[in-house]
């Protein structure tokens, strides 16, 4: 499973603010975020085993991420949920990504998952366990792990919610500064979870901090290629600003042509 927090439309200059920890097998290799070929341009890390991704942004300013979710009726040979996440990043909007996800999930070819898609127009969580439910993101903090959004039964979700609401995070700089500490919080001992998971064979293998603003130059993308309590975040913001600027130019050129 993974843990993803998205503060949506609470800060006017940065309507999408994200902090996410990825949990996976330590032996499963992935690459750091890079710009993918094709249209629209996408910035994401890539799972080297299946070729999918767990989180990314496209040139339209749309964010997509995925967390695992329990499912009883699992397919015999499931398609990678990360591949579907990567497919969603080709959508032109969050609304179109929701439609794409529901159509693909209806095939029954996937294990359980929670998908989150958001742009400046709309934001959604797609609960895809044994049943399917599309939930609009609330204005403010939305936290997703292996259950529903803001699941009160999940101790890590409750802890993240408490730590991220101790103060008003009313700017992208403040949100990212606080989130970087919260999501680097190690486990405090047995039955006392932290944001970082460290089990024998799997645990937190990377972490991402993201801010999508109204202007490409204000976008921020920071990535830790390991558990963030032990590995520093690196700045991939220039890559994100590049694809967002390209998307803006293409959008203006298309509007001018019509």
* Residue where the block lists tokens 């490409």: 216
Res 236: pLDDT? 98
Torsion angle of C-alpha atoms 222, 228, 230, 234, degrees rounded to 10: 0
Query: CB count, 10 Å around CB of 165?
Result: 13
Q: Total structural domains in the chain?
A: 1
Residue 243 tokens, joined? 């694809």
Res 21: pLDDT? 98
| Rounded (to 5) percent helix, strand, coil in the chain | 25, 30, 45
Helices (H) and strands (E) in the chain — how many of each? 5, 13
Enumerate residue ranges in the chain where pLDDT < 50. none
Q: Decide: 92 and 42 in contact? Cβ < 8 Å.
A: no
Domain range for residue 44?
3-257
Res 258: pLDDT? 77
Measured CA to CA, the distance from residue 102 to residue 198 in angstroms comes to: 33
Res 256: pLDDT? 86
Torsion angle of C-alpha atoms 11, 16, 17, 20, degrees rounded to 10: 160
Res 257: pLDDT? 87
CATH assignment at residue 41: 3.60.60.10
Q: What is the pTM of this model?
A: 0.96
Res 1: pLDDT? 66
- What backbone torsions phi and psi does residue 159 show, to the nearest 5 degrees? -65, -45
Q: Decide: 63 and 118 in contact? Cβ < 8 Å.
A: yes
């Amino acid at each position: 499973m993974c843990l993803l927090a998205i503060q949506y439309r609470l800060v006017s200059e940065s309507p999408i603010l994200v902090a996410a920890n990825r949990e996976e097998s330590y032996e499963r290799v992935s690459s750091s975020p890079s710009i993918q070929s094709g249209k629209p341009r996408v910035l994401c890390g890539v799972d080297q085993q299946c070729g999918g991704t767990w989180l990314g942004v496209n040139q339209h300013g749309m964010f997509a991420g995925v967390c695992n979710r329990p499912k009883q009726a699992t397919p015999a040979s499931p398609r990678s949920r990360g591949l579907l996440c990567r497919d969603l990043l080709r959508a032109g909007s969050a609304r179109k990504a929701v439609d794409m996800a529901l159509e693909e999930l209806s095939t029954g070819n996937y294990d359980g998952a929670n998908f989150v898609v958001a742009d400046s127009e709309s934001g959604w969580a797609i609960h895809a366990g044994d049943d399917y439910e599309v939930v609009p993101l609330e204005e403010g903090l939305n936290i997703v792990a292996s259950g529903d959004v803001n699941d009160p039964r999940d101790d890590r979700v409750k802890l993240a919610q408490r730590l991220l609401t101790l103060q008003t995070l009313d700017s992208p700089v403040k949100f990212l500064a606080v989130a970087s500490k919260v999501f680097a919080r190690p486990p405090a001992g047995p039955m006392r979870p932290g944001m970082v998971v460290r089990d024998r064979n799997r645990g937190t293998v990377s972490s991402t901090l993201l801010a999508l603003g109204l202007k490409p130059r204000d976008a921020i993308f920071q990535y830790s290629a390991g558990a963030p309590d032990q590995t520093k975040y690196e700045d991939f913001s220039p890559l994100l600003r590049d694809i967002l600027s390209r998307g803006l130019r293409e959008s203006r050129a298309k509007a001018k042509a019509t």
